[in-house]
Amino acid sequence: MDKEDKRRFFVVISAFVEVVMPVLRNRIEIDFRSKRMGSFRDFLNSQQTLHTLFHLCFKRVGCCTDTSNCKRTNATVIFNSQWTKLFSINPSNCGRPCHCKYTANPIQLQDIDITLAATFLRNCCSLSPIEMNSIETLRDNKNRFLSHNTKGTLTEIEFKTTWSVINDNIKKIDMSKGDDMDKIEKRTLDETMCQQYHTQCMDLCQSLKEVVFEGVEQIEKKIDINQTQLDQKIDKKIEDMTQALESFIWNEETRRHSVRHANLQYKQEIDISTIFDLKKNLISDGLLTEDGLIVVALCEQSSILYFHIDYAWVQIIKVEYSPWDITAMDNTAIAITLPEAKRIDIYEITSNIKLRSIDLDHCCFKLTSIKSKLVVACEENNLLIVDLIRDEIFTIETLVSADDSLHSSDDRIFHLNYQSNSMTCYWDDGIKIYNIFLGAKPQGITSIFDERLLILMKDGTLRLSESDGNMYRNLVYEDDRLHNPRIISYNHKLRQLFIANRHGIFHVYKVQKIE
């Protein structure tokens, strides 16, 4: 094991323990002090905080008071072990499970870990969108590079990626921490301290250990087993449980319910490969409009091609550079990314007129449109929200690659990360809603009726998912022998979609829902 890899891990974990955790705790204190609360316990006992946290732990429960603010959640955010650390049962006349039955324990602010701190800040404190996004990013990086890191090492690339993210985001919350981060970056390896810090950050595994060890004493009383063997079995069980929790949302066998079904009826095949002397990966992306136009970006031909879904005619618009992605602005206007030019161009396709160009600071790849905004994935790990009315650009710092996919539906943005096999959902103002592990590489995404998502995986399978990402089912569809499908687009008005590969073969389907 490379000693420098261990040192890099020690530097990052030191930053989380010595800088990130205190900054988040301090931000919580600033919030409750501004509300004239004298202590962290007063904050926990306040009606708003207690009621909010109660429903993050106990799903779909109605309270006896303040019923208008009861929030039904689909996922458990606070687990029972965390709840009992924070609250104890308080005698109450209420005859139902309710937040009025609990009171805060005499816990100190410094006793909560980064996961709980992030939960408090996201749900119980007043934050700016920038602070909210930074806290989410810090928590995600902690989980990715520390909590689930069993080797205790970081490669140079991993270190540069996460250190830049931590440094930038911690300064957005507290500008005074720049010097502290600079000092920690130069720190030499202290293996004893590294182990101590690692233990503090392994909150998930620690919780699992507590669960496992609850029965260990009883087991030891009943069986004669070598202690080393027992420890090894426990560690293996904890590792298996951790991996299972990471992929829980997308593990079909763990479901107790299934999403409503849909049926794809094969309609026709369209082959545009004869239009040009096509080469491999000619088509980079495409979409289906309400007028029945299939519009595609031809990266190697530096062109936009569009034709009617019945393939009666074909039109071509020449553009200045190779287009990488395409999205519909309305029924006649489309936007394309031009990575070489670091630019977005907007075209009126029926008149072949360029309406506008938007220059960016970075090379741009995938994009989608939402309301009067464009969302574009750029290099340097930037997801940009471009407000076309206010001429403003808001940046979300997250891992981005050229093979990612972006999609919008209603007021939500969906980002499929090809490298990490994950999907992140944001509100249209950039605030993260959730992040889930897909378990396989995603290739494309579209939304169909009732805002459900249809995700095209690299192996050609289709996943029909609820918009909250909680459950999915693999969708069986006829004539699914398309070689290397990579592009998918659905139009709500037509109730049709196409799945295409990059060589110019399109399969068109009618979509029917089955309750």
Q: Is 194 left (phi over 0), alpha (psi -120 to 50) or beta?
A: alpha
Q: Where are the domains of the chain?
A: 3-214, 264-513
69-118, pLDDT tens digit by residue? Answer: 676 665 667 877 788 889 887 766 565 567 777 889 988 898 888 888 99
Least confident of 57-66, 152-161, 313-322, 419-428: 57-66
The average pLDDT across 343-372 equals: 91
Residue with tokens 């130069």: 186
Q: Which tokens go with 199?
A: 């233990």
The fold of the 264-513 domain, in CATH, is: Neuraminidase (2.120.10)
User: Alpha-carbon distance 304 to 122, whole Å?
Assistant: 43
Q: What is the mean pLDDT of residues 413-424?
A: 90
Q: How far apart are CA 197 and CA 201, in angstroms?
A: 6
pLDDT in tens, 39-63: 999 999 998 898 888 888 876 566 6
Q: What's the CA gap between 166 and 140, in Å, rounded?
A: 10
Q: In what order do the strands lie in the sheet with 412-417?
A: 405-409, 412-417, 422-427, 432-437
**Average pLDDT for 386-401:** 87
Q: Which residue has the higher pLDDT, 214 or 385?
A: 385
**Looking at residue 288, what is its pLDDT?**
93
pLDDT more than 70, % of the chain: 78
pLDDT average, residue stretch 355-378: 92
Q: How far apart (Å, rounded) are the C-alpha atoms in residues 85 and 107?
A: 8
Give yes or no for residue 449 having a pLDDT over 80. Answer: no
pTM score, whole prediction: 0.53
DSSP state letter for 369: E
CA atoms within 13 A on the CB side of 302: 9
- The whole-angstrom distance between residue 219's C-alpha and the CA centroid of its chain comes to 40
Given pLDDT bands bounded at 50, 70 and 90, which one contains residue 178? confident
Supply the DSSP string of 141-175, one letter for each residue.
Answer: HHIIIIIT-SS----HHHHHHHHHHHHHHHHHH-G
Q: In the numeric block, which tokens belong to residue 286?
A: 């495409």
Tokens of 110: 């410094």
Nearest residue to 146 via CA among 157, 156, 158: 158
Q: CB neighbours of 156 closer than 8 A, spacing ≥ 6? A: 4, 8
